[in-house]
């Protein structure tokens, strides 16, 4: 067992939190850190029947250049919404936010794939008909090589006719990085995670965004965690189950019990899903009929001002936000920070 859950718990907590001791008692081997160049050791130990309880590579962060690019076969990617796949262009973050798993698992040094690596990844997927990607960097705007990577993606899109569609994650200061927004658009970025909610449906008419497209995105994000207990990007329309696929150690369940309960669950979940869609469509129609919809304004739509870093709660009421502003101002040659709110 590995990934961010194990790595984050071993890095940030006391090593016994979140039932890690239960994993040890069950004989589960835990892998902390990144697997590039290390997984062969685990496989050799497994083949020899000599798995260690923990493989801890949290303090030995591998480089990403010239490492094998992640490539899922098209038959799997085609079962995801929008036929999109994902890759990380970089790992690590230079900021010091103590609560963040990124810096505690991936470190504070920015490591990135080269533009050549990214091009090979894109071309490998395009060869099997896939051209939509979620770049999973926690903050792509702070990837030290964001610009040469964008430049290469722009070249692939504009000169080689690969119809790239990208989704990225950024922070609220990325618009101040020269050329970032402009190059993101040219590279094919159509969706951005920033982490802002408030009155989301009111904003599209005021900004020229398709309200229908936003509703389509909001449906899974509003229902998947509640109905399936997984992240929206792991969800789907119909969950596939079979009584023969129960986890090892669980009691076998009769088909006479399994299928009626499964069918009832499907009906219940889709009733909730239908109700959510109807409610969102009702709001959509109400907003579209509002004569003042195009003039709507709120804090998120307010034009950027030079004193935002001194005024916004997001940047003044947490140590991480204040540290982010300090770093940005040092880069810009303005080494003074906003006062922390009490």
The CATH number of whichever domain residue 174 belongs to comes to 3.30.750.210
Instruction: Give the other-Cβ count within 10 Å of 156's Cβ.
Output: 21
Residue where a domain stops, chosen among 152, 167, 195: 195
Residue 73: the pLDDT is 93
For 171-274, where are the E strands, in sequence order?
A: 189-193
Residue 111: the pLDDT is 86
The CA-based diameter of the chain, rounded to the nearest angstrom, is 71
Residue where a domain stops, chosen among 172, 195, 218: 195
Q: Are residues 89 and 191 in the same domain?
A: yes
Question: What is the C-alpha separation between 154 and 158, in angstroms, rounded?
Answer: 6
Residue where a domain stops, chosen among 163, 195, 227: 195
Q: Are residues 127 and 167 in the same domain?
A: yes
Q: Are residues 86 and 188 in the same domain?
A: yes
204 closest CA partner among 274, 82, 282, 300? 300
**Residue at 64 is within a domain:** no
- What is the number of helices (H) and of strands (E) in the chain? 14, 8
R_g (Cα) of the chain, nearest Å: 23
Give the pair of three-digit tokens for residue 244.
């023969």
**Residue numbers of the domain that contains 122:** 74-195
Decide: pTM greater than 0.85. no
**Residue at 340 is within a domain:** no
Q: Are residues 158 and 265 in the same domain?
A: no
List, for the chain, all residue ranges whose pLDDT scores fall below the cut of 70. 14-18, 81, 96-101, 195-197, 304-321, 324, 332, 334-342
Q: Are residues 188 and 121 in the same domain?
A: yes
Q: Are residues 220 and 261 in the same domain?
A: yes
**Residue at 341 is within a domain:** no
Residue 231: the pLDDT is 80
Number of folded domains in the chain?
4
Q: Are residues 86 and 158 in the same domain?
A: yes
Give the pair of three-digit tokens for residue 109.
């040094």
Residue 277: the pLDDT is 92
Q: Are residues 267 and 170 in the same domain?
A: no
Question: What is the C-alpha separation between 57 and 206, in angstroms, rounded?
Answer: 48
Tell me the angle at which helices 211-228 and 255-289 cross, rounded to the nearest 10 degrees.
150
pLDDT digits (tens, 9 = 90+) for 230-248: 888 778 788 888 888 888 7
Q: Are residues 279 and 305 in the same domain?
A: no
**Residue at 200 is within a domain:** no
**Residue at 173 is within a domain:** yes
**Residue at 68 is within a domain:** no
């Amino acid at each position: 067992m590995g990934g961010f859950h194990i790595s984050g718990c071993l890095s940030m907590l006391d090593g016994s939190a979140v039932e890690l001791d239960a994993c040890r008692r069950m004989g589960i081997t835990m892998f902390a850190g990144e697997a590039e160049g290390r997984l062969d050791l685990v496989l050799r130990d497994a083949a020899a029947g000599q798995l260690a309880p923990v493989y801890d590579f949290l303090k030995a962060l591998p480089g990403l250049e010239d490492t094998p690019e992640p490539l899922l076969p098209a038959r799997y990617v085609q079962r995801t919404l929008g036929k999109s796949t994902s890759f990380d262009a970089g790992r690590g973050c230079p900021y010091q936010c103590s609560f963040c798993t990124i810096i505690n698992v991936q470190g504070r040094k920015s490591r990135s794939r080269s533009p050549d690596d990214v091009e090979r990844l894109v071309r490998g997927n395009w060869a099997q008909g896939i051209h939509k990607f979620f770049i999973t960097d926690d903050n792509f705007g702070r990837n030290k090589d964001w610009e040469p990577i964008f430049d290469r993606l722009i070249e692939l899109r504009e000169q080689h006719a690969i119809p790239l569609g990208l989704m990225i994650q950024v922070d609220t200061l990325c618009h101040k990085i020269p050329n970032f927004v402009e190059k993101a658009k040219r590279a094919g970025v159509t969706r951005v995670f920033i982490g802002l909610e408030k009155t989301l449906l009111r904003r599209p008419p005021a900004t020229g965004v398709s309200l229908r497209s936003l509703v389509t995105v909001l449906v899974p994000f509003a229902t998947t965690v509640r109905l399936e207990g997984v992240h929206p990007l792991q969800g789907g329309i119909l969950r596939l189950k079979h009584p023969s696929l129960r986890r090892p150690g669980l009691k076998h369940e009769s088909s006479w019990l399994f299928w009626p309960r499964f069918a009832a669950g499907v009906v219940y979940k889709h009733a909730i899903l239908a109700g959510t869609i109807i409610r969102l469509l009702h709001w959509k129609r109400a907003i579209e009929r509002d004569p003042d919809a195009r003039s709507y304004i709120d804090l998120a739509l307010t034009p950027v001002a030079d004193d935002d870093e001194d005024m916004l709660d997001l940047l003044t009421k947490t140590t991480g936000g204040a540290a982010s502003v300090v770093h940005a101002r040092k880069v810009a040659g303005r080494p003074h920070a906003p006062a922390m709110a009490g």
